[in-house]
Amino acid sequence: MIRFYFERTNNFPLKKTETKNWLKKVIINENYDAGNINIVFCSDEYLIEINKKYLSHDYYTDIVTFNYCEEKIISGDIYISADRIRENASLFSTSFQNELNRVMVHGVLHLLRYNDKSDEEKKEMTAKENQYLNIL
């Protein structure tokens, strides 16, 4: 089950059913099943607190993902900074919705065991993001 929450940020339009169905398709396409996935939209300040407390990172980021997956069941908490999404959308000359979709699928891909530490992993992650954005 995929759930959406807002913490210390204003709500924004979100096509919840369409987005849930799309993310479930991503998971199924990767031969996994969706478990409990919480997507929390929050402020920069909220996310940096999480980044510091749990990851010892003292910097702003657009997403933090906590993976609770067991075998073929994908579960986890995905925290997304709405502030970073707005700023990055402007920086990359795209819409808020497009950047939001990219970051949401990025988080799900992390749950699916994709990483983005090395240049090669980043290329693969971006290719997967583009693949799944195209089916939205």
Domain locations along the chain: 2-135
CA 3 to chain centre: 12
Sign of the alpha-carbon torsion through 131, 22, 111, 89 = positive
Q: Tell me: the pLDDT tens digits for 26-62?
A: 999 999 999 999 999 999 999 999 999 998 888 889 9
- Return the CATH class of domain 2-135: alpha beta
Write b or e for each residue in 29-46: b if 16 or more Cβ atoms lie within 10 A of its Cβ, otherwise e: ebebebbebbbbbbbbeb
pLDDT at 88: 96
pLDDT at 36: 98
The DSSP string of 61-102 is -SEEEEE--BTTEEEEEEEEEHHHHHHHHHHTT--HHHHHHH
Per-residue pLDDT of the chain (136 residues; tens, 9 = 90+): 999 999 999 888 899 999 999 999 999 999 999 999 999 999 999 999 999 999 888 888 999 999 999 999 999 999 999 999 999 999 999 999 999 999 999 999 999 999 999 999 999 999 999 999 999 8
Q: Which two tokens stand for residue 49?
A: 């607190």
In degrees and rounded to multiples of 5, residue 31 shows phi and psi of: 65, 40
Cα–Cα distance measured from residue 61 to residue 81, given in angstroms and rounded to the nearest whole number: 7
